[in-house]
A and B are shown apart, each in its own frame.
Chain A
C-alpha cells in the first residue's frame, strides 16, 4: 500500500533554534500534502496544505513565518519550525493524498518535537 515516511521521528532542540521535518511519499506522487499538529489527548489540527510548486495554504491562526512549508517535489514536503519555543513542543504529522485512490489520505508516523 501507499507509504508516507516522516523524519525525524523525535527531535529535541533548544529554544530559539529552527527544526526541519521531512515528509516523503514513497509509493506515489503527491501534488498535495498536509501538515497537522496534535497535542496530547487531542485531535489532529490541520496547520497547512502544501501544494507542489506553489505556496502553502495556511489555516487561520497558523503563523506562516513561523511554520515554513516547502513542497519542492512531488514526493517531498518539509516543515520548518523557526525560532522554536517550548510552546511549539507537539506532535507534528504529515499526510499525503494518493491521486490513484481518491478519498484516502495516508499519514506519516509523526514527529515529536520537544523544545527546551
Chain B
C-alpha cells in the first residue's frame, strides 16, 4: 500500500465549476498536510498547508483534513483556466511524501 494515494486524473471541468481533489494516506503519524500546484516543467508551488483536522480557506481554495479517516481534500471554487495544472497532495511526518498528482484542466 502506498503511503499516499491520489487519483491521477486527468480531470477536466468547465470554467466556474467547483473542483474537488482528494487524497488518502496510511500513517496516522503524519502531522502536516499540504497541497502543491505544479505547472508544466516547473517546480511545485505550495498552495496550502495545515496540521489539524478541519478546514482552512484561502481565497478560492479550501483545504480539508479528516484525520480520523486519513483523508485530505482540496476544493477550488469558481475555477479558472489559469488553475489548469497538476495538483499534488503531500503529507509530512519526518520527510515529505507526495501523492501521484492530479492533472486538472479548466476549459474556458
Give A residues with C-beta under 8 Å from B: 4, 6, 34, 41-44, 46, 49, 91, 93, 95, 103-110, 112
Residue numbers in B under 8 Å from A91 (CB-CB): 41
Give B residues with C-beta under 8 Å from A: 6, 8, 31-32, 34, 36, 41-46, 49, 51, 88, 92, 95-101, 103
Q: A93-B43, A107-B43, A110-B43 are known contacts. Are A46 and B95 too (CB-CB below 8 A)?
A: yes
Q: Is the CB of A110 within 8 A of B42?
A: yes
Q: Is the CB of B101 within 8 A of A43?
A: yes
Residue numbers in A under 8 Å from B32 (CB-CB): 103
Q: Which residue of chain A lies nearest to B8 when distances are taken between CB atoms in the complex?
A: A41
In the complex, 7 of the A-B residue pairs with CB atoms within 8 angstroms, ordered by the A residue number, are A43-B88, A43-B99, A43-B101, A107-B44, A107-B46, A109-B42, A110-B43
Nearest CB on B from A60, distance (A): 12
Q: A49-B95, A103-B51, A105-B96 are known contacts. Are A44 and B88 too (CB-CB below 8 A)?
A: yes
Nearest CB on A from B43, distance (A): 4
